[in-house]
Amino acid sequence: MTGVVRKVIIIGSGPAGYTAGLYSARALLEPLMFAGYMSGGQLMLTSDIENFPGYPQGIGGPEMMMELREQAERFGLEVQDKNVERVDLNSRPYGVWVEGEEYRAESIIICTGAESIWLGVEGEEAQKGRGISTCATCDGAFFKDEEVIVVGGGDSAMEEATFLTRFAKKVTIVHRRDVFRASKVMYERAVNHEKIEIKTFKNVSSWLSDENGLTGAVLEDSRDGSKENIDCTGAFIAIGHKPITKFLEGQLETDSSGYILHKENTMTSKEGVFAAGDVVDTRYRQAITAAGMGCQAAIDAEKWLESQH
Ligand code: NAP
């Protein structure tokens, strides 16, 4: 085992994790965070955050994450950019394994967020990174003056499509219904863009490619099953996310989709184990709500630790 038993270990480093780190550091709990090899979470892949109060001109995702981290570190949050391999939530103090080293903590705050879902249709695996992506911010610039498609009808799809107009000649949004989950403002920004076309009632049934990479997709009509081909050299899948909970190996109660369940305030099914942000949240999933929940989890952990002594 490595060192002393910590009062709090925070796993994950999006807005929920850094806010939990800030609050628990200010409560003198000397928190240790395992931020992951790619610290900062999904917002590291977001170009502009326009809806976080306090930034009238907006702010870049990576920039905000750096500032959140700096703020929490100023009050004593210790951050290690490493992944947690597994945890033991069956005996206290709880165990956390990182690069083969064992750490122990009286309480744990899980803020590991969520990751993109892929379509899983024929031809996808081979074209990942050769034309098919889940991150326009990361890969959009590869498609200058080319035709790309974006799959999905939520805010992510609208955001990706609008961002891709900076590079692509044409962006087609492919959605399986004619009702959009996206917020009105983001839908309208996309639908009114001269480079964006929207195809409704279409599912991608397979991807088409040649030796140079992606060349198109077969679209199947969700009403009558008819098929058509669409040409594209890039495709961005924006159909939602799934929670990152594999390292828990089923030790906490979750819903049927794997999202961690809260039992009392932000406490999970294990005493002293708290969860915040997208790993819990199936409804709001915003940077501001994740940050708010990270604050709640830190306060709940502090009060729970007090009650133990
Ligand atoms: P989402 O709102 O859950 O939308 C997912 C979309 O993908 C839906 O249109 C869904 O269609 C479609 N879909 C799901 N599975 C599919 C499949 N197998 N095949 C084809 N289409 C499929 O997810 P999201 O857009 O990632 O947004 C998640 C949350 O993050 C939301 O709360 C959103 O507001 C937030 N967000 C906010 C911003 C921002 O404010 N800047 C940006 C991005 C995301 P159906 O509608 O038919 O189910």
pLDDT < 50 positions in the chain: none
Q: Which pLDDT belongs to residue 3?
A: 75
Nearest of 180, 214, 5 to residue 93 by alpha carbon: 5
Q: Whose CA is nearest to atom 33 of ligand 1?
A: 155
Please give the model's pTM, rounded to 2 decimal places: 0.81
Active site positions, annotated: 135, 138-139
pLDDT tens-digit series, residues 169-196: 999 999 999 999 999 999 999 999 999 9
pLDDT of residue 2: 66
DSSP tag of 5: P
Most informative mutation of 55, 156, 163, 237 for ligand 1 (most atoms within 8 A of CB): 156
pLDDT of residue 45: 72
Q: Residue 215 has what pLDDT?
A: 97
Looking at residue 43, what is its pLDDT?
84
- CB-CB contact of 147 with 172 (8 Å): yes
Q: Which two tokens stand for residue 298?
A: 């830190």
Helix (H) or strand (E) holding 246: none
Residue with tokens 């098919």: 132
CA distance 238 to 155: 9
User: What amino acid is encoded at 151 in this protein?
Assistant: V
Which ligand 1 atom is at minimum distance from the Cα of 50? 41
